[in-house]
Chains A and B, each alone.
Chain A
Amino acid sequence: MTDYGNAEQTLLRSILSGKKDVANRATLGPMVPIQLFQALRLIGMGSSIEEMVGDGAHALVYQSGKRVGQVLGNAVLPKAGKDLPKYLELMRGVCLQLSIGQLALEKADNSAGILTLKVDECVSCAGISGVKAPICNFEAGLVAGVVKVFTAREVKAVEVKCNAVGDSTCAVDAHILA
């Protein structure tokens, strides 16, 4: 396993434990300003990656979010069974614990196979404005991963509302594919 892979395992164990304490942060504590997260997300995984890989940056960020969504989804699924509202409530708790945002089911269109989840106070774009298209590819991927775990089907998630383009919230349509 690579060093990033090892670090991922340590981080995920820490997240899934629910404990907020982080080793080696005795003075500064476990929290960081949201601007630092956004710098990593929008510069480190955004504009600087975009300079190197162009449109591939969107796929990279989306797939990263999807991976995290699948890991978190798999962690809470046994507690929810096949109960979608319970599953999403548990996911909402995890998202609140990590300050990702306030995840909530906005609409379920069973005939079209689309779940619309909104992410209020989205960590990626809160306070950001003036963009032309939604930028929360990580959260869209995260929703795709979360819904994929529950449905055991492939999912295509599309961000349809984004605070950064002037909407009052972020919202993601999760299309459950055949």
Chain B
Amino acid sequence: MAMTAIDRSHKVDKVLGTITALRGVTAAAIIDSDGLVTHVRRDFEINTDALGAAVQIAFGSARRASDHVAQGATHMVLVENKDGIVMLAPLSRGFVLALVGDSSAMLGAVRFEVKQTVPELNTIFA
């Protein structure tokens, strides 16, 4: 039986909840191809319109730059900042998973969780 939009939302929220339970992860969001934040879990206020567009542009720019060095598909974009990290991972149908972590976030653990999570989210969005 096909999944309803409400079922899908609950499943996505649960997945995002698992990610934001990781140490130092302060926000997790799903952004569609138009830059609309379709789901978000966060500890702080975010301008979601601006975030959504910036995520799609940042991910698109990274992928386009990578095309020029012929390294194949982009699986993840990592931004290391003075006070934390932003991690972007592509999902199916143009969606992007975005994670925000503070300086206590353990990069390896977050990266591992993202790699586990992407197939699960793709199944939900299929």
Contact = CB atoms under 8 A, between A and B. Distances in A.
Interface of A: 51-60, 62-63, 66-67, 137, 140-141, 154, 156-157
Interface residues of B, number: 21
Interface string B12-38: 000000000000000000011111101
Interface of B: 31-36, 38, 49-50, 52-53, 56-61, 63-64, 67, 94
7 contacts: A54-B61, A54-B67, A55-B60, A59-B52, A62-B35, A63-B35, A67-B49
A58 B36 CA distance: 11
B32 A156 contact: yes
B51 to A, nearest CB: 10
A55 B61 contact: no
B57 A59 contact: yes
Contacts of B35: 59-60, 62-63
B52 A56 contact: no
Contacts of B49: 63, 66-67
A137 B38 CA distance: 18
A60 B33 contact: no
B58 to A, nearest CB: 7
